[in-house]
Chain A
């Protein structure tokens, strides 16, 4: 059974860096058939895809235009996990953050396995 276990602080100060980690069990971050995503949800912005990393003979990274200048998603093959770093956060970044596995289908990908979510509040 594949599981995603999220960890990281629930409170981040404005202008600081938000850092979350997602540990994978039952699958591999280096799998050729999956992509590892971060998605957030807030009342004001709804569900928002932030970015992903995946391996198909080499590592790929793909980020949403809205956060592209501030985001890094990295795989850690030694620990079978992946991480999110979001720099220069503001209160607008307050949301529930999910790590999510993506599956490829035709034109586009779907999201078939979600972590439990981490509420991150940006506040001083």
Chain B
């Protein structure tokens, strides 16, 4: 169902940097629609982490950053902390489906 592809899992030691890719197509990310990112802690609802490709809502640490290029986007977490262990999802708009679409999700594990 998901039209945005993410790696199932990434891991890193505390303090390290990890990146999560979000690969789309010419009907979504490649059509210049913005990408947004969400963090979902176990048993809770997703929380907005990055909006408009690279903007952080108030209260989100600057360890989280986003970027977009072509038909893909990326989320980077620098200075990885134990509390960052969660599932992460990208989201955009798809003009072929005429609706909002999410990524497949990536589980981040802190070793």
Contact = CB atoms under 8 A, between A and B. Distances in A.
Interface of A: 45-49, 62-66, 98, 103, 105-112, 114-117
A98 B57 contact: no
A64 B99 contact: yes
Contacts, number: 67
Contact of B102 (A48, A66, A108): A48
Given A65-B99, A114-B46, A117-B45, A106 B38 contact: no
B66 to A, nearest CB: 12
Contacts of B99: 49, 62-65
A45 B102 CA distance: 10
A62 B94 CA distance: 13
B36 A111 contact: yes
11 contacts: A46-B104, A49-B99, A62-B99, A106-B52, A108-B33, A108-B100, A110-B34, A110-B36, A110-B91, A114-B45, A114-B47
Given A46-B105, A49-B100, A64-B99, A107 B93 contact: yes
Interface in B32-76: 32-34, 36, 38, 45-48, 51-52, 57
B32 A112 contact: no
B110 interface: no
B104 to A, nearest CB: 6
Q: Which 5 A-B pairs have the closest CB atoms?
A: A114-B45, A47-B102, A49-B100, A108-B93, A110-B36
Given A105-B34, A106-B34, A107-B32, A112 B51 contact: yes
A47 B46 contact: yes
A45 B1 contact: yes
Nearest to A47: B102
Contacts of B48: 110-112
A103 B52 CA distance: 11
A49 B64 CA distance: 24
Given A110-B51, A112-B48, A112-B57, A65 B97 contact: yes
